[in-house]
Structure 1
Amino acid sequence: MLDPALPACQGLLTRKISAGVFRNQTRRPFSFTSRPTSPSSAVSPLGALSRTIAQNGTEGTKSKGFFPPVSHKSVAYWLLGSAASVFGIVVFGGLTRLTESGLSITEWRPVTGSLPPVDDSAWQSEFDKYRASPEFKILNPNMDLSEFKKIYWMEWTHRLWGRVIGVTFLVPTVYFILRRRVSRPMALRLLGITSLIGFQGFLGWWMVKSGLKDDLFTSGSQPRVSQYRLAAHLGAAFLVYVSMLWNGLSILRTHTLLSRLTPTPIHAHEIHSFKSIPSPQNLLHSLQSTLHARTFRPFRLSVLALGLLVFTTAISGAFVAGLDAGLIYNDFPYMGLGLTPPKRELFDPFYSRQPDPHPDLVWRNAFENPSLVQLDHRILATTTFTAVMALWAWTRFGRRFRGTVFPAEVWKGVRGVVHLVWLQVTLGISTLLYLVPTPLAAAHQAGSLALLTGVVVLGSRVCLPRIVQMALKNPRAATKMGLVPTRRLGERAKGDGMKFLNAQE
């Protein structure tokens, strides 16, 4: 953007425009934007000024290393698309569990398992394997082949979707690194996410395997997957999603903030308001001062703590799902005759695996007793809701933030999180009251990930990428890396504009 310090140039240029000096601009307003020049104007000061501005955005030496300083925008869009796919598979995985389809495929074949049965003999072979599982013998002894196909297709689609996510992440990762579209830190992060996706696939089979053990054939056993492994599987999926989302948003935010350091052409009809146009550089420095202010640091830490709280609440929901704890105490806010069940029920020695005095009594009940697991989830959910509303009230009415000008994007992020937490609480209570119907339960799981998304987006808005901080602190180093132009447009335009006006005199 042009430097507003043009006291002499501004008035003179305005008089020239009003006097009709530029008679060839009657149909098109005069502008400092570049356009093809004729031979007659190639040597004119105006032509030189146009070429100067056009070349300004392409100047600057590039980094000589293998990796660029900033990842390309296409990487961000790909990461956000991959995150959307992970969001979808998390919701579909919840549907797979709710329809009790997860144990229909009793083998783990990462490559050959991508192909479904194609004839009757292949279907019968898969059905025979399922009939030997504890789930069939105890829960579904009357299931026929047509019913088996329904749950088989659910699990097969879930596994195929996971394979597609892995391939569509691994191949572009290699491509972007070889094509030098990502920075060095981002390349390492992409490789880390790729490894996490592979580990997530292993956790999926490890979870399914826990529901196929022979000890589940014993009397009184419930053929279902381990709630510990289910929580690990869901937690890994959340980590993959957050990693993709955060890095995608970080790249886009870096480009947006760096663009404020890049000058943009200004038309002559805007010359009257030069002094009223805020400099993008000044806006960016103001944003940095706000986000790094001492009064803003507690807010940034609170957003981080809120994200951890939302994640913990979601993982506790996995224990509720793994133990079918949502099918008991289907009222709210009471649990039976009081706000909590009796203490004897919450800390039942039945779940302890060690003799008296039962040193594992507390933690065993916390993770294996359905009554205490549901109570823990209620407490965490209520704490999350209270924390979100407290954060909103604190930023709006707190004394610490009086006089602090919050960026508009931060305010929008806070309001978005408030709306999402209200939606999630409504879905959770409705799921409990209506005895966990499949649509509501799946929506509740999607709501937890949506709430975490809102917190991650808010977190990305209260942080400045390191490359932007470096560009603000050391413009010369940023120029050498090709992040900003070598000279400010305002300074160059001011000099060339004065030459042009002097020539017109």
Structure 2
Amino acid sequence: MASILPGLRRAARPLSRDLFICHQCRKQSIPLGRLKLPVKADLSRTIRFNSSAAAFPESNTIKNSPLTSLSKTISNAEKEKAIPKKGYFPETSSNTVAYWLLGSAASVFGIVVFGGLTRLTESGLSITEWRPVTGSLPPLSSADWDSEFAKYRASPEFKLLNAHMTLEEFKKIYYMEWTHRLWGRFVGLSFVIPAIYFVARRKVASHMSLRLLGISGLIAFQGALGWYMVKSGLKDDLFAPGSHPRVSQYRLTAHLGAAFVCYSAMLWNGLAILRQNAALSHPSRALVQLEHLSGKHLSFFRKSVAGLAILVFTTAMSGGLVAGLDAGLIYNEFPRMGTGFHPPASELFDPFYSRKEDRSDLWWRNMLENPSMVQLDHRALAMTTFTAILGLWAYTRFNKRVKSAMPNNARKGMLGVVHLLMFQVALGISTLIYLVPTPLAAAHQAGSLALLTGVLVLGNRVWIPKRTLRLVQQRVKQAAAVHPPVMRPMGAQAFKADLNALKKHGPPKPLRSTRS
């Protein structure tokens, strides 16, 4: 035993130098090929005793080991999970789609105003057939004009109102209605064809593609509803005998309401896309703005704006009933209606409009079919809208907490709504006093849609879209993960506090190592 120990002592130093790699070399990732190994060192023994033997590319056994394959499989799976799978639809819609929606909304705004002119000039019943394709062209020959005029002469409107109308006068009202219908076809084609293109080119998000489909269906329904409205004025049995030939006020209001809904959908979605893309371009700033809007001081204001939109829409629909019944031609003074602020109760609830023996439909038929009651309802809704908008403006102006929390663009939007309201009230009173002249009546109808536009723009500025908020939060988290926040220098108060603690307790003691 004593003879073996000296030999082991002599071999211990070369063994540790030849068969092991120091920790410092492994830490610096020095390739083994650059290490100077003694000639006597056996490579197989070195791999056997070396813990970093996997670094040798020549070792097929280590490269193809089950543990190495399992680690690669797990690594690839984690990489696949980290990369989000992209679907067919993009995450957000393009700004081009937003501008196209706003342009389509402007076209619908124009056709609403032109439709009012068509009604005021009594041109809507000049075309007695609905031909969506072949009706795109006007009569091109004298025979075609004679045929169209013959069809109009068979209508109740010609027999009761326009029995002395000439062919040249007929052409004027015919071109008014033809232009109105042609404009409607243009609205449909200019919306459906670009919508298909944007979806095919993947410029529209998935939820927005469904909305575009809904608006396309609404446009088609609007065209069918327009003909259904015109049809009500071409038959004697659809209105009272001996009365003025006109379309049904119910169908006219439904046609007008569908146009308002279609316009609102285009406008709202166009503004929503622009707002979302602007927020995602600066997610940190947008997150602060959205969190500020979600504060309790603006909660009542946001809900009130939504209520205003419903109130303005309802008032406009009551105006459609007034137009359908020509109720603006009676009681042409304001604010009084005859000898008082409202007509007599016997006139407001006239049994003439009831169609049941038990008079159970007396109140609602008078509200929808009695011109006096319909005008009173429209006045009441208009004054309610006027009071509500001014009250909300005063709330944001004189409530200090709400005023300080109101964003600048929301404050301007609220003021713009007040200006549109004043303009619309002036148009309404002037239209009533001057016995519904065509320019003022058309401007009053356009003013109702303009007022609804102002309320929708204001709502878009203060509303909190959940999807946009979620996308903004995701972008902020991703940015924080890629670029972690940098520690900023402490403030003056924190510096003084640390300085006082240093004077009182002295410098902190260094931590002792637990390693022996």
Which TM-score band (shorter chain)? 0.7 to 0.9
Question: Residue by residue, what CA displacement relative to the aligned partner does 1:220-263 show, whole Å, maximum 9, x if unpaired?
Answer: 232100000000000000000000000000000011111113xx
Of 219, 242, 253, which residue of structure 2 is paired with 1:231? 253
Distance 1:417 1:384, change over 3 A: same
Q: Which amino acid aligns with 1:334?
A: R
Question: What residue in structure 2 maps to residue 320 of structure 1?
Answer: 322
**In structure 1, C-alpha distance between the alignment counterparts of 2:181 and 2:483, rounded to whole Å:** 54
Helix, strand or coil at the partner of 1:441: helix
Structure 2 contact 287–469 (Cα < 8 Å) conserved: no
| TM-aligned CA deviation for residue 290 of structure 1 | 1.9
Q: Which amino acid aligns with 1:213?
A: K
- Does structure 1 residue 68 correspond to structure 2 residue 90? yes
- Does structure 1 residue 116 correspond to structure 2 residue 116? no
Distance 1:148 1:256, change over 3 A: same
Q: Which amino acid aligns with 2:407?
A: P
Structure 1 contact 346–372 (Cα < 8 Å) conserved: yes
Structure 1 contact 216–222 (Cα < 8 Å) conserved: no
- If the length of structure 2 is used for normalisation, what is the TM-score? 0.76
**In structure 2, C-alpha distance between the alignment counterparts of 1:201 and 1:459, rounded to whole Å:** 29
Of 94, 114, 118, which residue of structure 2 is paired with 1:96? 118
- Does structure 1 residue 380 correspond to structure 2 residue 381? yes
Structure 2 contact 239–248 (Cα < 8 Å) conserved: no
Structure 1 contact 134–223 (Cα < 8 Å) conserved: yes
Q: Which amino acid aligns with 2:177?
A: E
- If the length of structure 1 is used for normalisation, what is the TM-score? 0.77
Question: Residue by residue, what CA displacement relative to the aligned partner does 1:251-276 show, whole Å, maximum 9, x if unpaired?
Answer: 00011111113xxxxxxxxxxxxxxx
| TM-aligned CA deviation for residue 128 of structure 1 | 0.3
Distance 1:63 1:197, change over 3 A: farther
- Does structure 1 residue 363 correspond to structure 2 residue 364? yes
Distance 1:144 1:379, change over 3 A: same
Of 303, 306, 310, which residue of structure 1 is paired with 2:305? 303
Q: Where in structure 2 are there 5+ consecutive unaligned residues?
A: 1-81, 487-516
Which segments of structure 1 move beyond 4 Å, counting only runs of 4 or more? 60-63, 216-219, 488-491
Distance 1:161 1:173, change over 3 A: same
- Does structure 1 residue 464 correspond to structure 2 residue 464? yes
Of 66, 71, 83, which residue of structure 1 is paired with 2:105? 83
Distance 1:296 1:218, change over 3 A: closer
**In structure 2, C-alpha distance between the alignment counterparts of 1:65 and 1:211, rounded to whole Å:** 51
Question: What residue in structure 2 maps to residue 351 of structure 1?
Answer: 353
Q: Which amino acid aligns with 1:341?
A: P
Of 153, 159, 166, which residue of structure 1 is paired with 2:181? 159
- Does structure 1 residue 172 correspond to structure 2 residue 227? no
Aligned Cα root-mean-square deviation (Å): 1.9
**In structure 1, C-alpha distance between the alignment counterparts of 2:132 and 2:484, rounded to whole Å:** 56
**In structure 1, C-alpha distance between the alignment counterparts of 2:374 and 2:108, rounded to whole Å:** 27
Structure 2 contact 410–462 (Cα < 8 Å) conserved: yes
Question: Residue by residue, what CA displacement relative to the aligned partner does 1:148-188 show, whole Å, maximum 9, x if unpaired?
Answer: 00000000000000001000100011000010000000000
Q: Which amino acid aligns with 1:378?
A: R
| TM-aligned CA deviation for residue 285 of structure 1 | 3.2
Structure 1 contact 63–69 (Cα < 8 Å) conserved: no
| TM-aligned CA deviation for residue 214 of structure 1 | 3.1
Alignment of 1:81-480 (within 5 A): 81-215=103-237, 219-261=241-283, 281=284, 283-355=285-357, 357-398=358-399, 401=402, 404-475=404-475, 479=478
Q: Which amino acid aligns with 2:461?
A: R
Q: Which amino acid aligns with 2:368?
A: F
Q: Which amino acid aligns with 1:247?
A: N
| TM-aligned CA deviation for residue 90 of structure 1 | 0.1
Q: Which has the larger radius of gyration?
A: 2
Q: Which amino acid aligns with 1:303?
A: V
**In structure 1, C-alpha distance between the alignment counterparts of 2:320 and 2:407, rounded to whole Å:** 36
Structure 1 contact 330–434 (Cα < 8 Å) conserved: yes
Structure 1 contact 334–340 (Cα < 8 Å) conserved: yes
**In structure 2, C-alpha distance between the alignment counterparts of 1:372 and 1:95, rounded to whole Å:** 25
Structure 2 contact 280–472 (Cα < 8 Å) conserved: no
| TM-aligned CA deviation for residue 489 of structure 1 | 10
| TM-aligned CA deviation for residue 218 of structure 1 | 7.1
| TM-aligned CA deviation for residue 68 of structure 1 | 0.5
**In structure 1, C-alpha distance between the alignment counterparts of 2:240 and 2:356, rounded to whole Å:** 21
Distance 1:61 1:391, change over 3 A: farther
Distance 1:217 1:290, change over 3 A: closer
Question: Residue by residue, what CA displacement relative to the aligned partner does 1:465-500 show, whole Å, maximum 9, x if unpaired?
Answer: 3333113433477x5xxxx79745997xxxxxxxxx
Structure 1 contact 306–384 (Cα < 8 Å) conserved: yes
Distance 1:381 1:181, change over 3 A: same
Question: What residue in structure 2 maps to residue 43 of structure 1?
Answer: none
Structure 1 contact 216–223 (Cα < 8 Å) conserved: no
Distance 1:85 1:61, change over 3 A: farther
Question: What residue in structure 2 maps to residue 35 of structure 1?
Answer: none
Moved more, 424-433 or 251-260: 251-260
Distance 1:247 1:61, change over 3 A: farther
Moved more, 344-353 or 456-465: 456-465
Structure 1 contact 79–247 (Cα < 8 Å) conserved: yes
Q: Where in structure 1 are there 5+ consecutive unaligned residues?
A: 1-59, 262-280, 492-505
Of all paired residues, the percent bearing the same amino acid is 64
**In structure 2, C-alpha distance between the alignment counterparts of 1:412 and 1:488, rounded to whole Å:** 37
Distance 1:488 1:324, change over 3 A: farther
**In structure 2, C-alpha distance between the alignment counterparts of 1:367 and 1:255, rounded to whole Å:** 45
**In structure 2, C-alpha distance between the alignment counterparts of 1:102 and 1:111, rounded to whole Å:** 19
Helix, strand or coil at the partner of 1:474: helix
Q: Which amino acid aligns with 1:302?
A: S
**In structure 1, C-alpha distance between the alignment counterparts of 2:143 and 2:97, rounded to whole Å:** 45
Structure 1 contact 290–406 (Cα < 8 Å) conserved: no
**In structure 1, C-alpha distance between the alignment counterparts of 2:85 and 2:274, rounded to whole Å:** 20
| TM-aligned CA deviation for residue 457 of structure 1 | 0.2
**In structure 2, C-alpha distance between the alignment counterparts of 1:384 and 1:149, rounded to whole Å:** 41
